[in-house]
Amino acid sequence: MESRQIPTKTLHDGAPVPVLGLGTAGYGSAFGGEYRQGDALRAALQMGYRHIDTAEIYGGGRSEELVGAAIRGMPREELFIATKVHRAHLRHDDVLRAIDGSLSRLQCDYVDLYLIHAPEPAIPLRETMDAMNELVERGKIRYIGISNFGVDQADEALSLTRSLIATNQVHYNLLVREPERNGVLRWCQEHDVLLTAYSPLEKGRVPRDDTVIRLAGDLGVTPAQLALAWLIKKDHVITIVQSDNVEHLEENLGALDVDIPEDMVAELENLPAHRVRW
């Protein structure tokens, strides 16, 4: 299997992050699917995927275990491993316990990125951020991330961190444009924070959209490649896509070679959300 180097964008301190990562939300939860998912993870790593996104909640921790098993023996510094603390664990001491659970399942001494999975208004953000700051200082996490944070919440998180925010991971794709409307995309660009677009294929619905299919055909690429390339082309945007299908994993890497002409970008920018066939 051929391996390729995935291009990177840089964090606030210049550190590189691969623009295309592998999501694992559905890993570890499908009965009987674990062998396929383990194989897919190993195949992805062989192909050159280095940015892997997981969370303590995915598969009740099983996703992290599958990732840990797949990366065992690989040079740790070549990987960018991201995991997330669940919103039920955002009290100070709960965060400290949660990271130890994740590190043990991942069989790692540290994660590259630790994200607050979603804001929890019942718990003061200062309490959570105090714990996140401590984790950076103790070397258990390299970078702090937030996820599903609006502009005001992101501002508050930034004001409480002692080491800045690496990324806000939010729902964003050709059919879901919330980060453009609610200001999160602009906020990330202005604050030198990467926006990590999750569900970039809207769980498989984007590649079934008539307009995306037509435009991809005109360009001689697949709909998934066009959708991923559209995201990656944007300033400060990277993405994580999930698949446990080796052909799709390879196909999605092809997005890195897609050059979208400006007139097509304009058409994609205006793609109305209602075109999706559910």
Ligand X SMILES: NC(=O)c1ccc[n+]([C@@H]2O[C@H](COP(=O)([O-])OP(=O)(O)OC[C@H]3O[C@@H](n4cnc5c(N)ncnc54)[C@H](OP(=O)(O)O)[C@@H]3O)[C@@H](O)[C@H]2O)c1
Least distance in Å: CB of 47 to ligand X? 13
Give the residue with the Cβ less far from ligand X, 138 or 200: 200
Give the span between the Cα atoms of 80 and 53, in whole angstroms. Answer: 9
Tokens 């994993």 map to which residue?
249
* Complete DSSP assignment for 32-44: T-HHHHHHHHHHH
Least distance in Å: CB of 115 to ligand X? 7
Least distance in Å: CB of 245 to ligand X? 4
Give the residue with the Cβ less far from ligand X, 41 or 224: 224
Give the residue with the Cβ less far from ligand X, 103 or 202: 202
Give the residue with the Cβ less far from ligand X, 153 or 169: 169
Answer positive or negative: Cα dihedral of 228, 255, 10, 90.
Answer: positive
Give the residue with the Cβ less far from ligand X, 206 or 262: 206
Which residues contribute to the site for ligand X (CB under 6 A)? 23-26, 53, 117, 147-148, 169, 198-204, 207, 224, 240-245, 248, 251-252
Question: Are the beta carbons of 30 and 60 closer than 8 angstroms?
Answer: no
Give the span between the Cα atoms of 38 and 40, in whole angstroms. Answer: 5
CA angle 47, 31, 117 (to 5 degrees): 65
The alpha carbon of residue 156 and the mean position of all alpha carbons in its chain are separated, in whole angstroms, by: 22
Catalytic residue ranges: 58
